Amino acid sequence: MELVVHKISGEATARKVQLNENIFGVEPNDHAIYLDTKQYLANQRQGTHKSKEKGEITGSTRKLKKQKGTGTARAGSIKSPLFKGGGRVFGPQPRDYSFKLNKKVKQLARKSALTYKLNDQEIVVLEDFTFEGPKTKNFVQILESFKVNGGKNLFVFPAADANVVLSARNIQRTKVTTVQNLNTYDILNAKKLFVLEGSLKTIEELLA
């Protein structure tokens, strides 16, 4: 399939790019998308949650009352989970949520996500561009040119560009990434996917 290359001003150029059918025209696999998205979100978790168990609570271990004759249940340490301020039973402990996912499954998930975006006509190919210096106003003008200001947008660059990243970082719901860091979650989370012309070749090298 062919897509027209656009300028950052929003105007279409006379050039077109041919998208690789093995990447943008595959049979989408929803389960692969689910697994890759699940792994991405799991990797974002710090896993530092912690609650104190009975043995970690500061308090006396003196028996609170006599065993029999009170008419109530037996009670031991004040650190028992049954009492306010006592330890927690089976509370959260620090853990690593990440898990392994095969490379081919991740590639299939990315291909499926890109195929969905192309089918929904949510991919825009841009000419390669850069800024002389970081300026948010310049990036806002690009969004206004395509009438996507305020929506969720993802810009995919072939390599990191500090001026562009600094120009976009204060714009809500807009993210700048590189082909190397492109993931299934970001692709599907964006309403509009802006791919620079130079990024297409790198995408083919990674996913073809």
pLDDT of residue 61: 87
Residue 105 shares a structural domain with residue 152: yes
How many domains are there within the chain?
2
Check whether residue 38 and residue 57 sit in a common domain.
no
Q: Which helix (H) or strand (E) holds 138?
A: helix 136-145
155 and 74 in one domain? no
Whether residue 154 is predicted with pLDDT greater than 90 in this model: the reply is: yes
How far apart CA 57 and CA 78 sit, in angstroms, is 9
Mean pLDDT of the chain: 95
Q: What pLDDT, in 10s, does the model give residues 65-116? A: 999 999 999 998 999 999 999 999 999 999 999 999 999 999 999 999 999 9
Nearest-5° Cα angle at 8, 113 to 174: 50
Pair (79, 160) in one structural domain: no
- Domain boundary, last residue among 66, 96, 126: 96
- Whether residue 113 sits in one domain with residue 25: yes
Residues 85 and 123 reside in one and the same domain: no
Query: Are both 88 and 123 inside the same structural domain?
Result: no
Examine the domain organization and report whether 144 and 189 are in the same domain: yes
Judgement on whether residues 114 and 191 belong to the same structural domain of the protein: yes
Question: Looking at residue 1, what is its pLDDT?
Answer: 81
Paired strand residues for 125: 5, 195
State how far the Cα of 96 lies from the Cα of 45, in Å rounded to an integer: 8
Domain of 80 in residue numbering reads as 47-96
* Cα angle: 191, vertex 17, 184; to 5 degrees: 35
Question: Tokens at residue 140, please?
Answer: 């806002």
Residue 161 has pLDDT above 90, yes or no: yes
pLDDT in tens, 124-151: 999 999 999 999 999 999 999 999 988 8
CATH number at residue 125: 3.40.1370.10
Q: Which of 37, 68, 96 is at the close of a domain?
A: 96
Residue pair 172/136 in contact (Cβ under 8 Å)? The answer is no
123 plus 175 within the same structural domain:
yes
Residues 12-64 have pLDDT tens digits of 999 999 999 999 999 999 999 999 999 999 999 999 999 999 999 999 889 99
Q: How confident is the model at residue 196 (pLDDT cuts 50, 70, 90)?
A: very high
Is the same domain home to 136 and 35? yes
What is the 8-class DSSP label of residue 143? H
Q: Residue 123: pLDDT above 90?
A: yes
CA–CA gap between residue 80 and residue 19 (Å, rounded): 64
Q: Are residues 125 and 142 in the same domain?
A: yes
Distance CA 127, CA 125 (A): 7
Over range 184-200, report the average pLDDT. 96
b/e sequence 85-116, b meaning 16+ C-beta within 10 Å: ebbeeeeeeeeeeeeebeeebbbbbbbbbbbb
Q: Label the pairing between strands 123-126 and 12-18.
A: unpaired
